[in-house]
Amino acid sequence: MDTNQSLEWQKKYCDEYAIKNKLNIKGCFGGTYESAKSDERKEFNRMLKFVKAVKQNKEKIAYILVYSLDRFSRTGDSAIYIAGELKKVGVNILAVTQPIDTNSHAGALQQNIQFIFSKYDNDLRRQKTVDGMREKLRRGEWIGHAPKGYSFVKGAEKQTIIVNEQGELIRQAFEWRANGMTYDQIVLKLASYGMKMPKQTLTDTFRNPFYCGYISHSFLNGELVKGKHPALISEELFFRANALKKTEGFKCNLVNDNLPLKIFLKDVETGAPFTGYLVRKKGLYYYKVNKIGIKVNRSVKMMHEKFRELLAYYTINSNHLEPLKIQLQYTWDNLTETNTGEKKGLSLQLNSSQDEFRILRKRHALGEVGLDVYQEFKTEMETKIKSISEKLEELEQNLSNPQDLINYTCKLASNLVKVWDLGDFYQKQIFQNTLFPTGLGYDSKNEQYRTTEINSVFDLIASVSSHLTGLKNGTSRGGSEKSRFVPGTGLEPVRP
């Protein structure tokens, strides 16, 4: 979380660096509530447009000064691409706490690796959050807003969900539907009781197993969990309302080691997921698009072979492992050193704020400050101290032994195909989602995989391997070479 104080601290460092190196600052850009996790930022885009306009007027801009590279962008490959486009027009990104000569191949590569590490840190935090929410769901506890008809009990020691007044009407709606009433009739009937519900919302409500005591969520990948909340209706009524036989049960993703790409893989044209089936006479499995009217069927053998080819592209040459480990360790040490300086600055701010708050409490106790003034500044100072403390806590979350992580990542990156082949269904699911967080698309017309997002670390490792091979062969084009999966965008942020 950025605070006004941390932004002032960063600006101070940049100003001092500019004065020391006799650089003329043409403009300052930044927003208190803008996060570097995305390149879709008003101030960020305003800066890019400013640079573009100035260069078109043939004025000289040589650098974009930032406190650290992760303050420029934490989008990984998108940041690398934007930095490359800026460099083409003579503008280098210069981090005042991480001075790197990006005019050399080694410097450009070092900067790219730091961009990727920042993206990896974001991905790691996001994954921890998702894992925590998934575990909560598996315990039968709901996340997010309670579904219509339910309410959370505020202040309860444990999560407590109860049926509210609207719930009673929704229960009746299930009865009406089970007895043959149409959706349009139910919408009108609910409206007569004061509940406005669009037809599509009503349809989604009837399909939601939450109302019969179960939890279904995208984080659970098709798994159904018995919830701790009270069931609004019986399972039998749920099945009747949805015209299901009880023997059909709920639709879940069945585990099949022969079909690890199902659901994870989607048709590029329609967005529909691939499911799978067995042709018993041949004893062969096939993937197919799960959408009426779409006739796309492909053999498991062919789809898996193409997937292995895709993995091979991101597999690092074993001859490059040692140079890569050295580079990753150097990058880690550099980032850690930057964090140390930032922690010192935040610690000074925290101590100063705590001293101010201590003085305020003392003056209030002595009667020098009235209650109304005390209450006003008390809230403000508590918020300030909390914000600085949270930022410090984030910086404290460093790995005690990064060498283990570096060794493990490099070993994995040099054996991607083998690791995938040896895994069972669940292990392959974890592997696939780690490498391609948003899943894969399949273009059936051109018979090839498509992806909008690749794990930034593995994408960079593949780029580094290609870069090292190029240096050996004398064909490298530098560390800012664009990934084959990234569309051209000039100075605008990359969009999938």
Query: Is 219 a residue whose pLDDT tops 70?
Result: yes
Query: Is 231 a residue whose pLDDT tops 90?
Result: yes
Q: Please name which of 61, 47, 58 lies closest in space to residue 91, comparing C-alpha atoms.
A: 61
Percent of the chain with pLDDT over 70: 83
- Amino acid 244: pLDDT: 52
The CB density around residue 362, as the number of other CB atoms within 10 Å, is 11
> Residue 65 and residue 361: Cα distance in Å, rounded?
41
Number of H helices, E strands in the chain: 16, 12
Pull the structure tokens for residue 404: 């283990």
- Amino acid 492: pLDDT: 36
Q: 192 and 104 in one domain?
A: no
| Of residues 438 and 142, more confidently modeled | 142
Encode pLDDT of 317-375 as tens digits: 888 888 878 877 777 777 666 666 677 778 888 888 888 888 888 888 888 888 888 88
**Which range, 62-71, 117-126, 224-233, is most confident?**
224-233
Instruction: Give how far Cα 393 sits from Cα of 1, 194, 350, 390, 461, Å.
Output: 11, 48, 12, 5, 29
> What are residue 225's DSSP bridge partners?
215
Q: 73 and 90 in one domain?
A: yes
Q: Please name which of 452, 17, 480, 442 lies closest in space to residue 262, comparing C-alpha atoms.
A: 442
> Residue 272 and residue 294: Cα distance in Å, rounded?
9
- Amino acid 245: pLDDT: 44
Q: 198 and 86 in one domain?
A: no
User: Of 241, 269, 287, which residue is a domain's last?
Assistant: 241
Encode pLDDT of 391-430 as tens digits: 777 766 554 567 777 888 788 888 999 999 998 887 888 8
Distance of CA 207 to the CA centre of its chain: 28
The pTM assigned to this predicted structure is 0.45
Instruction: Give how far Cα 278 sits from Cα of 259, 260, 282, 325, Å.
Output: 10, 14, 8, 44
Residue 26 lies in a domain: yes
- Amino acid 66: pLDDT: 83
Q: Which domain holds residue 176?
A: 146-241
> Residue 476 and residue 157: Cα distance in Å, rounded?
60
- Amino acid 371: pLDDT: 84
Dihedral, CA of residue 334, residue 336, residue 339 and residue 341, to nearest 10: -70
| Of residues 338 and 105, more confidently modeled | 105
Pull the structure tokens for residue 369: 């400050």
Q: 112 and 233 in one domain?
A: no
Residue 325 lies in a domain: no
| Average pLDDT of the chain to the nearest whole number | 79
Find the angle CA(98)-CA(102)-CA(103) to the nearest 5 degrees.
150
Encode pLDDT of 44-102 as tens digits: 778 888 887 776 667 778 888 888 777 777 666 677 778 887 888 788 888 887 777 77
> Residue 486 and residue 82: Cα distance in Å, rounded?
11
- Amino acid 31: pLDDT: 58
Domain of 43: which CATH number?
A: 3.40.50.1390
